[in-house]
Amino acid sequence: MEHLINPRVTDIQISGIRKISNLVSQYNDAVTLTIGQPDFPTPEHILRAGERAIAEHRTTYTPNPGLPELRQAASQFVEKKYGLRYGGTDEIIVTAGASQALDITLRTILTEGSEVILPGPIYPGYEPLVKLCGGVPVYADTRRTGFKLTAELLEPLLTVRTRAVLLCYPSNPTGRVLAEDELKGIADLLVSRNVFVISDEIYSELIYDGEHRSIAALPGMRDKTIVINGLSKSHSMTGWRIGFTLAPAYLTQHMVKVHQYNVTCASSISQYAAIEALTAGIDDALPMKAEYIKRRDFVYERLTSMGFELDKPEGAFYLFPSIERFGLSSMEFTLKLLETEKVAVVPGDAFSEYGEGFIRISYAYSVDNLEKAMERLERFVGRL
């Protein structure tokens, strides 16, 4: 019966991130720098809010787009933090994580053959969602522009079939951030075109040099932009599965239909905890960010002292050093490092073909683990 399965599903591959993570369990005393998950616990006051929701039996369905008070809290949060203005009643949907937010967005705007431009290297979760919708991923090679999508890279890729451009900054896997003039260049190119922008801003609270700027805040861009965000990275709430779409009402009214038949609503308990996160916990990311900066600087300095070439990331919690000088593919380098020194990183080709020749290192781990991993990595490259 397997031949009856949707070929769009059978063609999808398991994420390269997960492949390596699954291998780690076979090695005792392995140090893993693979998963993009904060190592901080969810703040205590958010846990208490979740517990109160359970104790008060707030365990029923919520309105499909989410609790009104949560959508209002999200509206106030993004306005205060990023100058974005979205109505809590008709322009915000609470989703089961940012991944589901992306899914309902793409299902709403894509038709068969629609093209979506992706800056490569890029998080591997986007391409399968595009393909499941019958869309066509089109990659922009950002390796020569410091892993930043520019208007100059983007313009020749635009066709009559282009339905959307996906921005994901701060970037997974590179940690790069688009400066305001770079965002403006893209906005100037797209403002008069019938092309949507999907702006995945899940790492918006983890920008280390300057402040987060959304393309949706630029003139003429709000009505064609869908902003994706959530609490997984900012509040260390990965398992709570709370994300958001922020989009103009004409889009949101259709996206909520897809959401309704997809998951009905996000977890009620998680939604009540999310209200606490966005109100009393509006600055919960600050102490985590301070620690990430220390970790970034430590790992960056260690890598450069070993001779690795890499751009210093301005956000998220990843570094993406080149390994080309070692003459190994990214997968060969990753497997040898794991086998000989028991350090797990992610091969760059997990992030599209444009990530070949690089590895991704997550520094969302304790300093002790980072120190141990850097010692082992230095020993490894010393033998190559």
Q: Read off the pLDDT of residues 297-335 as tens digits, 9 standing for 90 and up.
A: 999 999 999 999 999 999 999 999 999 999 999 999 999
Residue type, 294: K
pLDDT > 90? residue 19 = no
- The architecture CATH gives domain 45-278: 3-Layer(aba) Sandwich (3.40)
| Per-residue confidence (pLDDT) for residue 21, from 0 to 100 | 75
- Collapse the DSSP code of 196 into the 3-class scheme (helix H, G, I; strand E, B; otherwise coil) and give the result: strand
| pLDDT band at residue 17 using 50, 70 and 90 as cut-offs | confident
pLDDT band of 156, cuts 50, 70, 90: very high
Closest among 276, 226, 250, 189 to 95, alpha carbons compared? 226
Mean pLDDT score, 171-197: 98
Q: What is the 3-state composition of the chain as percent helix, strand, coil, each rounded to the nearest 5?
A: 45, 15, 40
Residues carrying CATH 3.90.1150.10, the chain: 2-42+284-383
Six-digit token string for 122: 């890029």
Does residue 276 surpass a pLDDT of 90? yes
State the pLDDT at residue 175.
98
**Mean pLDDT, the chain, integer:** 96
Residue type, 190: L
Query: What integer is the mean pLDDT of 190-217?
Result: 97
CATH code for the part of the protein at 2-42+284-383: 3.90.1150.10
Question: pLDDT value at position 318?
Answer: 98
Q: Tokens 């570094």 belong to which residue?
A: 319
Q: What is the per-residue pLDDT across 87-97, written as a single tens digit (0 to 9) for each?
A: 999 999 999 99
**Cα-based torsion angle of the residue sequence 283, 284, 286, 287 in order, rounded to the nearest 10 degrees:** 150
Q: Which two tokens stand for residue 19?
A: 């492949």
Give start-end residues of each CATH 3.40.640.10 domain in the chain: 45-278
Q: Residue range 251-280: average pLDDT? A: 98
Is a pLDDT exceeding 90 seen at residue 359? yes
* Residue 217 pLDDT: 98
Residue 343: pLDDT over 80: yes
> Per-residue pLDDT tens for 24-73?
878 888 999 999 999 999 999 999 999 999 999 999 999 999 999 999 99
pLDDT at 220: 98
pTM: 0.96
pLDDT of the residue at 339: 95
Can you tell me the mean pLDDT for 128-134?
Answer: 97
What's the mean pLDDT in 275-286?
Answer: 98
What integer pLDDT is reported at residue 15 of this predicted model?
76
Q: Going by C-beta distance under 8 Å and a sequence separation of 6 or more, which residues neighbour residue 12?
A: 128, 131, 132
Q: What is the pLDDT of residues 246-261, one digit of tens each?
A: 999 999 999 999 999 9
The pLDDT of residue 95 is: 98
Is the pLDDT assigned to residue 337 strictly greater than 80? yes
Q: Decide if 178 contacts 149 (C-beta within 8 A).
A: yes
pLDDT recorded at residue 11: 87
**214, 207 in Cβ contact below 8 A?**
no
| Average pLDDT for 204-215 | 95
